[in-house]
Amino acid sequence: MVRIYINDQEYDVPAGTTILCAAKKAGIRIPTLCFVEGLRPIGACRVCVVEVEGVRNLVASCSTPVAEDMRIHTHTARVRRARRAVVELLLSEHNGECQTCERNGQCELQSLAAELGIREVSYRGEKARKRIDISTPALQRDSGKCIKCRRCVSVCNEMQHVGALFPQFRGYQTIIGPALGRDLASVPCVQCGQCAAICPVGAISERDHVEAVWAALDTPENHVVVQTAPAIRAALGECFGYPPGTLVTGKMVAALRRLGFDAVFDTNFAADLTIMEEGTEFLMRLRKAYVEGQQDVLPMFTSCSPGWVQYLEFFHHNLLPNLSTCRSPQQMFGAIAKTYYAKKLDKRPEDIFVVSVMPCTAKKFEASRAEMNASGVRDVDAVLTTRELARMIRIAGIDFQSLPDEEMDAPLGLCTGAGVIFGHTGGVMEAALRTVYEVLTGEDLPTPTLLATLDGIKEAEITLKNVRPEWSFLEGVTLRVAVAHGLGNAEKLIRAIEAGERQYHFVEVMACPGGCIGGGGQPRFTDNRVRLARIAAIRKEDAGKPLRKSHQNPQVKQLYEEFLGEPLSERSHKLLHTHYIAREPV
Amino acid sequence: MPDDAKPAGVFSAPCACQEVSEEDRYAQLDDILRTYRNIPGALIPVLQITQTIFGYLPEKALRKIAAALNKPLSEVTGVVTFYSFFNTIPRGRHMIRVCLGTACYVRGGKQVLAALKEELGIDVGETTADRNFSLDVGRCFGACGLAPVIMIDDDVHQRVKVSQLPRLLEQYRDKQDTTSKT
Ligand code: SF4
Ligand code: SF4
Ligand code: SF4
Ligand code: FES
């Protein structure tokens, strides 16, 4: 322990604590801008400066550890002046209008200016050059609004191990972005949107699909259906004043109906369908490995996270054959809605307009992939992030808090608990094992093996006993599985696998930390506390479901009976599976 | 590499020689990359060597370097554009450097620079479209008594007046065919 004094009050804090952290524990708020808990301090903005007795210059509290007998002053006149100077300088260069900005009302630069009581900007600097980058289907970047805090650089490099963003040029010319200040599409960016989620201002956000959805809803001939991913119900409430972790499934359905969607469906239905296909594919790969000796078909990697899929497409071409051929639930839903469901309504695929609500920006990219037209037309027409849906609800004047709870529509709205847990890290694996284990042994999966924690890499083993006769070659086999979230963790796992240090049968990867509940399209701001709260909400929804295994979903069963035949059938193959592209990384 | 360190050895070939072909340069780069592939901290040395090979850092070379050193292209270009001694634009046949040391600066160096920019239509660090001239600034060439000073290639020009500049540049334009490649 170290004895320190903050604003003349005595505190004992653990050695190695930063001044910022010590002050926070003491109930003193020091403003920050570039600092993000959980990431290495960047030290770029100097908003967090404090005065330390005996030290001539002000020090950045986010990156300075405490020392014995340190006397710290957090809000002296000198400190206040320095912070104001920093923020006024940022404002003088900032090229944006709050009134028309996506971040209006929830912008960290705005609230910082308010917190510091800035009433005028005494510098008259040149404005940052405004350049809008809409080169990718997922993200919009506006260099004029960038305050060069470099959070996105940390996230893209450290957390995601992609490295699409980096400071370019120097001094006043500095821009934060892809190589040579070019467009995002010129570098390998997986479009996960974690940069958009962490950006304090309106410099990175999702490509807007709101207008396209309004237009579809306003066209009477369209039959507009909406699917919502599991992670939405666990986070949408945050946009309407509920604390993180509030489950708002019923109100969300009610809001979607009031927005005018003709049918409100659940991506979880397609998640159950995914488990049927992916579980069967896994069993097929096990057979190939154990009976036909084709060891290299294992491990199988999950394929529902489009950021992860593109990560392999860019950086690990040799692993593409190990990626499950299953489309993601979003795309399975689109294909089924425009074929099976359309037929039920006696409509053509092109008469159905499919909107998804996703926690994810990469889903916009996924929906735009050339091969995603199994129904003959684009399978998913528009993808809204959680944030965009919240915006639409507000624009429509819907008072979210006072909505009743409503139920999803049939037939694509029913799901089991297994479909729900797709929303958090480890969930797809758990859902798959619930079904696979039962198929193999006829019994329930012994207690959930993969806990919904935020450990970067989780592993589990299940030994198969009393397997059914047709699977006898698996008797006594110990299935080894692993789960990683955040592409940095995925990269670590891949390296361990490629070095032969680790061997698995099945690996789940989600590009975003925490899985979909921490996606790049979720309400800002997402930290680990928020992630855990959203995971708890998802677990609650799972626990409340009468059916908790995908193969029990009666509507999925019906879909197979009436339309698909069986998993991996020819029709399934056409509608529910896909192939991948090796992309040049530079 | 400092501006005035002309790579005399490796590539300013004896007069009988042809210009080193693009292919040869890339072959050389490949050799370098094989050597440096697994050496930590190799980026800056590799960039310096590459600049010696090509005279500047072509984008294609940067892509190769990024791939070989297993670094994102954005990081590589981030480093290249941070340091002023790296150049991503090919150098012109003639390098003009304007002294902006104190003496030159106060005695008209600034105006000379502005006039050169205007005359050539380029900014500091850039090269004219016909690849005749590149423009750069320097910090005192040791001829303060005769300020303002500019250097064109290895020639020092003293007491330069803005009005003389077009004629001065013309002399070099004429010489272009006989100048050795750098
Ligand atoms: S980024 Fe923030 S400060 Fe800038 S225009 Fe948008 S809301 Fe205003
Ligand atoms: S979307 Fe993901 S990969 Fe692309 S720049 Fe942002 S953080 Fe990096
Ligand atoms: S884009 Fe956003 S996160 Fe990145 S440096 Fe600019 S302001 Fe910061
Ligand atoms: S928050 Fe400490 S330097 Fe930015």
* Whether pLDDT at B3 is above 80: no
Does A178 lie at the interface with B, CB-CB under 8 angstroms? yes
Which residue has 């093996």 as its token pair? Answer: A449
Nearest to A586 among B67, B82, B88 (CB): B67
Q: State the pLDDT at residue B9.
A: 35
Pocket of ligand 4 (CB under 6 A): A 32-35, 43-48, 60, 62
pLDDT (tens digit per residue) in B125-159: 788 888 889 888 887 877 788 889 999 988 889 99
For residue B40, what are its two tokens? 């930590």
Q: Could you write out the three-class secondary structure of A530-549? A: HHHHHHHHHHHHHHCCCCCC
Residue A377's Cβ-count burial label (10 Å; 0-12, 13-18, 19+) is middle
Nearest to A187 among B59, B73, B81 (CB): B73
* Whether pLDDT at B176 is above 70: no
**In this structure, which CATH number among 3.30.420.40, 3.40.50.300, 3.40.50.880, 3.10.20.740 belongs to the domain A2-75?**
3.10.20.740
- In whole angstroms, give the CA distance from residue A497 to residue A490: 10
Residue B162 and residue B149 in contact, taking contact as beta carbons nearer than 8 Å: no
How far, CA to CA in Å, does A351 sit from each of A230, A266, A345, A475, A550? Answer: 26, 20, 10, 50, 29
Which residue has 């500047």 as its token pair? Answer: B56
Closest CA in chain B for residue A177: B74
Provide, as residue numbers in chain B, all residues whose Cβ is less than 8 Å from the Cβ of A177: 74
Q: Note if the bond before A299 is cis, omega within 30 degrees.
A: yes
Do the Cβ atoms of A187 and B74 come within 8 Å? yes
What pLDDT band is residue A450 in, cutting at 50, 70 and 90? low
Q: Which helix (H) or strand (E) holds A509?
A: strand A506-510
How far, CA to CA in Å, does A547 sit from each of A143, A534, A542, A544, B119? Answer: 49, 21, 9, 9, 79
Does B71 lie at the interface with A, CB-CB under 8 angstroms? yes
Residue A202 and residue A101 in contact, taking contact as beta carbons nearer than 8 Å: yes
Nearest to A586 among B66, B78, B88 (CB): B66
* Ligand 2 near A259 CB (within 6 A): no
Q: State the pLDDT at residue B6.
A: 39
Q: State the pLDDT at residue B17.
A: 41
Does B82 lie at the interface with A, CB-CB under 8 angstroms? yes
* Whether pLDDT at A278 is above 60: yes
* Whether pLDDT at B15 is above 70: no
Q: Do domains A88-206 and A276-328+416-576 have the same CATH topology?
A: no
Closest CA in chain B for residue A161: B72
* Whether pLDDT at A314 is above 70: yes
Does B76 lie at the interface with A, CB-CB under 8 angstroms? yes
pLDDT (tens digit per residue) in A457-494: 999 999 999 999 999 999 999 999 999 999 999 999 99
Q: State the pLDDT at residue A449.
A: 61
| Number of separate helices (H) and strands (E) present in chain B | 7, 4
Which residue has 């600092």 as its token pair? Answer: A35
Q: Which residues of A are catalytic?
A: 278, 281, 304, 324, 363, 366, 371, 516
For residue A480, which of A503, A497, A513 has the smallest C-alpha distance? A503
B23 Cβ neighbours under 8 A, 6+ residues apart: none
* Ligand 1 near A97 CB (within 6 A): yes
Q: How many CB atoms lie within 10 A of CB B47?
A: 22
For residue A491, what are its two tokens? 């990269």
- In whole angstroms, give the CA distance from residue A516 to residue A353: 24
Q: List the Cα angle B128/B99/B83 in 5-degree steps.
A: 65
Q: Where are the domains of chain A?
A: 2-75, 88-206, 276-328+416-576
Residue A450 and residue A482 in contact, taking contact as beta carbons nearer than 8 Å: no
What pLDDT band is residue A141 in, cutting at 50, 70 and 90? very high
Residue B83 and residue B141 in contact, taking contact as beta carbons nearer than 8 Å: no
* Whether pLDDT at A77 is above 90: yes
Do the Cβ atoms of B77 and A166 come within 8 Å? yes
Question: Per CATH, which fold does A88-206 belong to?
Answer: Alpha-Beta Plaits (3.30.70)
Q: Give the residue-averaged pLDDT of B52-76.
A: 94
* Ligand 1 near A205 CB (within 6 A): no
pLDDT (tens digit per residue) in A376-398: 999 999 999 999 999 999 999 99
Q: How many CB atoms lie within 10 A of CB B41?
A: 8
Q: From the CA of B43, how far away is ligand 4's center (Å)?
A: 28
Q: From the CA of A79, how far away is ligand 3's center (Å)?
A: 24
pLDDT (tens digit per residue) in A31-54: 999 999 888 898 999 999 999 999
All domains of chain B in start order, with CATH: 3-82 (no CATH), 94-178 (3.40.30.10)
* Residue whose CB lies within 8 A of the most ligand 3 atoms, among A102, A110, A147, A205, for a mutation test: A147
* Whether pLDDT at A538 is above 50: yes
pLDDT (tens digit per residue) in A108-135: 999 999 999 999 998 888 899 999 999 9
Q: How far is A33 from chain B (nearest CA, A)?
A: 22
Q: How far is A153 from chain B (nearest CA, A)?
A: 10
A386 Cβ neighbours under 8 A, 6+ residues apart: A231, A232, A235, A236, A239, A357, A358, A359, A519, A521, A522, A523
Question: Per CATH, which fold does A276-328+416-576 belong to?
Answer: Fe-only Hydrogenase (Larger Subunit); Chain L, domain 3 (3.40.950)
How far, CA to CA in Å, does B80 sit from each of B1, B85, B134? Answer: 13, 8, 18
Q: How far is B46 from chain A (nearest CA, A)?
A: 18
Nearest to A169 among B63, B66, B81 (CB): B81
Closest CA in chain B for residue A584: B67
Q: From the CA of A32, how far away is ligand 4's center (Å)?
A: 5
* Ligand 3 near A146 CB (within 6 A): yes
Q: From the CA of A251, how far away is ligand 2's center (Å)?
A: 32
